[in-house]
Amino acid sequence: MRWHANTGLKHRSNQANGHQHFGEHALDLCIWRQSECAVGAPSRSYIGSLLEIPPRPMTAHVQSFVLVVTAGLVLFSCSSRPSVSSLKKEVLLQEDGQDRHWVMRADGMIMEEHYLTAHGDLHVVVEYPKGVHNPQVDARGEKENVESVVKGFWRNGKRMSATPQVAEKANGRDLVWWPSGSIAREALFVMGTPTGTWKFYNESGQVLWEGTYKNGKRWSGTFIGSERPGADFFLTMYPMKKITFGGGVLLHEEEFLKELRPQ
């Protein structure tokens, strides 16, 4: 998913012309952070392999030693990720006293990139797990083909989307949620190409339909709306369509959702 920080005029003009859609970038997303460190206890056999000790009953001395090593591994894992307090904000664009594009750095590397879109009341957050040297959003220079995660929230504070990317191409399990907080769609991408079986849910969290892709094309089952990743699923032309395929052939099409306004 590619987002742009300075496309407000374009999409305001679209609305003025009477088009029934949000605009591709009419949404800003709030920060959605996973926990800073998920601590999982390594198995005894794993610890044993690290210490070259076979997984057999351990003495009290060995158990104590293993506990110390395990604690060290966990602390090392956590310390390798910058904490929220260690991130430093650097504003790249400000208009009318409002920050519109900024990055969060740790040890000189950009770990997060934020920007406001056309309406300026929500915002987009792009997280870079391994960090980048330069801003990637609207970058005029060469892109750093890196891994990133775009996370979004509706205006009511509930999550909207989570999209893993590589070189700005959706790659992996892509999730989208209704404003109510319930799951709306589960999708799968491989370097920007839709694949596998997608699931579509109603606002109560019940599966309505499933659709399967073959060679990047809709092949069988029922699909809802756009096949674009992340929040772009909702930022599309309305009414949203319900489409049924069989053997790669379009069998039926009807209106599913007339309009959905950001909340």
- List, in order, residues 6 or more apart from 55 with CB less than 8 Å away: 44, 45, 48
**Between residues 143 and 191, which one has the greater pLDDT?**
191
Q: Which residues partner with 48 through β-bridges? A: none
Q: What are the distances in angstroms from CA 12 to CA 68, 152, 263?
A: 59, 21, 18
Sign, CA dihedral 203-24-34-156, equals negative
CA distance 191 to 168: 9
Does the pLDDT of residue 156 top 60, yes or no? yes
Confidence label for 6 from pLDDT (cuts 50, 70 and 90): very low
Mean pLDDT over residues 236-242, rounded? 83
Residue 78 identity: C
Condensed to tens digits (0 to 9), the pLDDT of residues 190-206 reads: 999 999 999 999 989 99
Does the pLDDT of residue 31 top 50, yes or no? no
CA distance 87 to 251: 52
- The DSSP secondary-structure symbol of 227 reads -
Residue 13, phi-psi category: left (phi > 0), alpha (psi -120 to 50), beta (remainder) = alpha
Weakest-pLDDT range from 26-40, 89-103, 178-192: 26-40
